[in-house]
Structure 1
Amino acid sequence: MCNLYTVRTPIGGAALFKGVQWVWQPSDGLHSIRPTDSAPIIVVTDDGLTGIEATWGFPSPPQYGPGPVYNTRNLGSAFWRPWIGQRALVPVIAFCEHDARKRKHWFGTGETVFFAGIWGRLPGEPLPRFSILTTESAEPVAAVHPKAMPVLLETEERAAAWIGAGQFEAGRIAAGLSPVQAPAPPINRQPDLFG
């Protein structure tokens, strides 16, 4: 499961970004994002598309231990019900998956695309939380990590469809999104240091 991605700031380029009001954006540069890190996401507010700071991952239910839940596979789960209507676009230029030997493989084109995400505010917390939707792996990711991969929104049309959908359309839209529209070749592979 994806637990590392990179984002380049300032975020821009696509026409979709021209209407985004950035309330927060990290300093300019390339940023590695891991669960529990804060990251820029785009959400719909009363003011339209808004770029905000959010923490990656929701607190896990007590029966599952202390780690955060940072990937969403089952939108029908009662755990996600409070936030399913609050979709987010998570800007990303590359994401990492580990193979069975725990080697890192990076996928992306170097251009900003989006993960499909959901977000929400929890009582008493200063920052909202977000999670990334995952789906069945497709090539070339499946060769490295066959279980699941992030849902990628690689065009403005797909991004707009995801963030603009009504609450009851979210599951249908997510189910209809192919995981990868065009192959994203591995952009880096960590060398195998142990044989």
Structure 2
Amino acid sequence: MCNLYSNTTTQEAMRQLFDVPPERDELGNASAQPAIFPDGQSVIVTADDAGDRSLRIARWGWKKVRFKNKKYETWLTNVRNLDGWPWEHVIKDRSQRCLVPASSFSEYHPTEKIPGATGKPIKAASWFRLAGETERPPFAFAGVMRRWDWENDGLRKKADAELQASGAQVTAMAFLTTEPNGIVAPIHPKAMPVLLRTEAEFETWLNGTADDAKALQRPLSDNALRLAFTGGKADPTTAA
């Protein structure tokens, strides 16, 4: 679920929303991302031991797995069960928690189709946004992160051979899901991402106790979310 999201919030707006000083912004010149897919470059917000926050880049996907009903490996992008290994350990380690800035997220519609790249019909993406006066109010997913271990985890893809050879550090991330609210359930009845909107929620997820952080695993209220549109694979931010 939720293997596609967007982050069209400006860099300055992210710094303000997540209380990140300019000197701790490691993004360079970040551009809008209307479609972020698994293994794509993603912005994350981290906090050090002193609680100071940074904007950094991670790659979406904790590891590759093969699900029972699949004949191929796919990225593990979402986390649901916080009581099992390794997530019970991860949630207790504040250094492995992060925020994942976003402006909308997508679930594939169960019946609507659009033309694919080869002309064959593919599932249409239904895009969800926060309710609010602005077009795409920014928010964050409750995320988890880890350092990618080239020796034990191998290459994420063949093109990463040079990164591995140079010893470059890559951060892997995933984010938390929960049961869907009444807006998401008709499209995706299994789950929705955990959405955080306030400074209090940001701080609790980054620096709170494991129990307080786990308490944030709840669906957003129906009146706080809107179905923006159903259609293409990228979120057109001009959609109503």
TM-score w.r.t. length of structure 1: 0.84
Size of the aligned set, in residue pairs, is 189
Aligned CA distance change for structure 1 residues 155 and 100 (closer, same or farther; 3 Å): same
2:101 is the counterpart of 1:58: no
Aligned CA distance change for structure 1 residues 95 and 62 (closer, same or farther; 3 Å): closer
Q: 1:138 aligns with which of 181, 185, 191?
A: 181
SS of residue matched to 1:143? coil
What 5-or-longer segments of structure 2 have no aligned partner? 112-122, 131-135, 151-167, 233-240
User: How far has the Cα of 1:31 moved from its partner?
Assistant: 3.6
- CA RMSD for the aligned pairs? 2.5
SS of residue matched to 1:111? coil
Question: Residue in 2 aligned with 1:3?
Answer: 3
Q: 1:121 aligns with which of 138, 143, 147?
A: 147
Question: Residue in 1 aligned with 2:108?
Answer: 98
Aligned CA distance change for structure 1 residues 103 and 52 (closer, same or farther; 3 Å): same
Question: Residue in 2 aligned with 1:83?
Answer: 90
Name the amino acid aligned to 2:62. F
User: How far has the Cα of 1:90 moved from its partner?
Assistant: 0.5
Cα deviations by residue, 1:41-88 (Å, 9 ceiling, x for unpaired): 001124611111101011135786621110001112213345322211
User: How far has the Cα of 1:160 moved from its partner?
Assistant: 1.7
What 5-or-longer segments of structure 1 have no aligned partner? none
Q: 1:150 aligns with which of 183, 193, 213?
A: 193
Q: What's the % identity of the aligned pairs?
A: 29
Larger radius of gyration, structure 1 or 2?
A: 2
Question: Residue in 1 aligned with 2:161?
Answer: none
TM-score w.r.t. length of structure 2: 0.69
Cα deviations by residue, 1:138-158 (Å, 9 ceiling, x for unpaired): 021112111100000122222
Counterpart contact for 1:25–1:53, Cα < 8 Å: no
CA distance in 2, matches of 1:13, 1:57: 22
User: How far has the Cα of 1:189 moved from its partner?
Assistant: 1.2
Alignment map for 1:39-58 (pairs within 5 Å): 39-46=42-49, 48-58=52-62
